[in-house]
Amino acid sequence: MSTTRQPTRPEIRGGDYPIDAARSGVVFSARKFGIFTIRSTMAVTEGEIRVGSRLEDSSARVTLDATSFTTPVRKRDEHVKGPRLLDVVRHPEIAFRSTELAMVDGKWIVGGVLVCHGAERRVDLDVDSLVPSGDTLVNRAASTLDRREFGVRAMKLVASSLLRIEVEVVAVRATNP
């Protein structure tokens, strides 16, 4: 006899949860020369999770500071932030806004629009965890993106076009006036 595990809905109070930028961030990873993985981080500048009466009616938005792109190698950071790749002078922010939240094959998926490098593309984030603790939410989600879809095409023989993105946001429920 087999049983199907029904996904559980976390008990989260409805309302607006501004993202705590200081406790949130994004990690990117990509293969270089197909041999080793380069990891980088980017800071969250602002955002909000809005929890609806049904979890499916919830939404999220987050903005990243592209100028904060950091790896262990400063020279690499300068190159990636330059005009051939991220071009942070012209595109200093990366923004995501959700358009749907749905349970797919027993896993929560946040679908939305990512604006990066002047291009808008649909992105689905797999929710790895959503942990409520009092009026605080810790949300971890991840996706794999093709940077070429956003017009970031340089270094195609050196760096993989596929980026793994891992997002962790901490949000605290706003108090009503």
Q: DSSP for 46-77, please give it.
A: EEEEEE-SSGGG-EEEEEEEEEEEE-S-HHHH
**DSSP 8-class letter at 134:** T
CA dist 129 and 6 (Å) reads 16
Burial of residue 132, with CB atoms counted within 10 A of its CB: 0-12 exposed, 13-18 middle, 19 or more buried: middle
**What are the tens digits of pLDDT across the range 12-55?**
889 999 999 999 999 998 877 667 788 999 999 999 999 999 99
Predicted model pTM: 0.86
What are the tens digits of pLDDT across the range 61-88? 999 999 999 999 999 899 889 998 889 9
Query: Architecture of 21-172 per CATH?
Result: Beta Barrel (2.40)
- pLDDT at residue 3 is higher than 60: no
28 near 165, Cβ under 8 Å?
A: yes
